[in-house]
Amino acid sequence: MERFFETELCVKCRGRGWCGKPCKIYSKIKKFAPKIKTHFSGNSPPEIFIGRVGYPNVNTGILAPDKYGDTEQMSLPEKWYEKKLTIKQILNLRTNLIYSRFKSKIKQPGKQTPSKFLSAMQEISLADKPVSTEIFLKKPFKPQLNIDKHLPIIGNPAPLKKIILQENPSIKRKINYIVSDTDSKASNSIIELSKHTYTSNIIKILSAGMLGLKNNRKLVPTRWAVTAVDDTLSKQLLKKIRFYPEISEILLFHGDYIGNYYEILLLPDKFSFEVIEAYMSGSLWNPSLKINLAQDFERFNPKKKYASNVTGAYYTIRLAVCEYLEKIKKQAYCIVFREERPEYNAPLGVGILRELARDILNQKPEKFPTIQKALQQVQTRLKLSINLFIQKSILLKEYKQQTRLNKWF
């Protein structure tokens, strides 16, 4: 019974130590850690991280490896997906980063003179190229990794003693202009930044407290910043999408990457959105023999509550869908099926899911005369029974009062 409890807990805990025992996820990835040291130099990808434990006094800091060269791909899910890196390759990149951290107060860094550490971190957050840094630590870093469903692995933390930026960070003129506008709300700046840089870079800039009205600026824990950026961008698109005509055909998109498999079904109707995730036995957060499912949805009106079951992946996929609907100037009733398969065995954050969904929706869709035919095609590619998803779905049950779904199979 105890063993069953532990495996059931994994899918909810996701590395937070709820069972009080050494995490099996950690044991798979700790071998990639660099050699322990207190002084090193290298190119920050660039990357920063703002924690949330102890809020409003949190750990903040800079991530950098002990090597120079093109380290940009250590940080960007956009690059990982573009190059179709394997899990092992991504882990090798991520675990080479050392998290040099210091304590900061969340509230309004713009109202106070930033410390040298905070100032350096904010400069790095704006950079569009790797930044040469020299870092001195108060004590050797710990070869441990922060595991989070939303974020790529953050590892090897140690208290920062001194940091030297060996060069002036390269900052795009347009990004510097947007950040310097202290009369612009954070949401407006996020939307403007999306035209000039990667989504991952916007998350860093927001997290570093560099956006918003002058008196409202504050650090944002990175985990929260991920969802805030995805949510802000998709909500802005939905303001227009809800007035577009409906699609006229049933469309189906599909694709996969390192164990994350998606089927995205678009139906002719007013905008609604649902994500159903199935964590297969043996996948990252589900070592149990039981299949675990999570589901969140919204109807035509804007969603008010946080998607607490699917969490950050909900907003990430919604953004990709909204970008597609904006491109075709249509609205649709959208249902997303995801299988997290056993080969997805290490946490890489929701950024790879965003890029996967974007790529899937850039492909030519399959078209079907009926929803039954579309779901039958979905079943040919899923490893699990489509009935698991049908039974979990709210929107499928509601879709124009169709014939009962349990009669279709």
Q: Are residues 353 and 301 in the same domain?
A: yes
Q: Are residues 306 and 182 in the same domain?
A: no
Cβ 271 vs Cβ 334: under 8 Å: yes
- pTM given for the model: 0.89
Q: Are residues 57 and 187 in the same domain?
A: no
- With 0-12 / 13-18 / 19 or more C-beta atoms within 10 angstroms meaning exposed / middle / buried, residue 327 is exposed
- C-alpha closest to that of 203 among 220, 216, 218: 220
pLDDT tens track, the chain, 409 positions: 333 334 445 655 555 566 766 666 556 555 656 677 899 999 999 999 999 988 999 999 999 999 999 899 999 999 999 999 999 899 889 988 999 999 999 875 555 566 899 999 999 999 999 999 999 999 988 777 777 777 888 888 999 999 999 999 999 999 999 999 999 999 999 999 999 999 999 999 999 999 999 999 999 999 999 999 999 999 999 999 999 999 999 999 999 999 999 999 999 999 999 999 999 987 776 777 788 899 999 999 988 899 999 999 999 999 999 999 999 999 999 999 999 999 998 889 999 999 999 999 999 999 999 999 999 999 999 999 999 999 999 999 998 655 444 444 4
Q: Are residues 369 and 315 in the same domain?
A: yes
- C-alpha closest to that of 159 among 94, 103, 204: 103
Task: Copy the structure tokens of residue 290.
Answer: 């039981």
Q: Are residues 221 and 339 in the same domain?
A: no
Q: Residue 78: which H helix or E strand, with range?
A: helix 77-82
Beta-bridged to residue 378, according to DSSP, are none
Q: Spell out where 106-247 has E strands.
A: 131-137, 145-146, 154-155, 157-165
Q: Residue 276: which H helix or E strand, with range?
A: strand 272-279
CB 120: neighbour CB atoms within 10 A? 24
**Phi first, then psi: what are they for 407, rounded to 5°?**
-95, -5
The domain containing residue 37 runs over which residues?
Answer: 31-165
Q: Are residues 354 and 302 in the same domain?
A: yes
Q: Are residues 211 and 338 in the same domain?
A: no
Q: Is residue 156 part of a domain?
A: yes
Task: Copy the structure tokens of residue 121.
Answer: 């971190």
Domains in the chain, number: 3
Q: Are residues 66 and 123 in the same domain?
A: yes
Q: Are residues 279 and 389 in the same domain?
A: yes
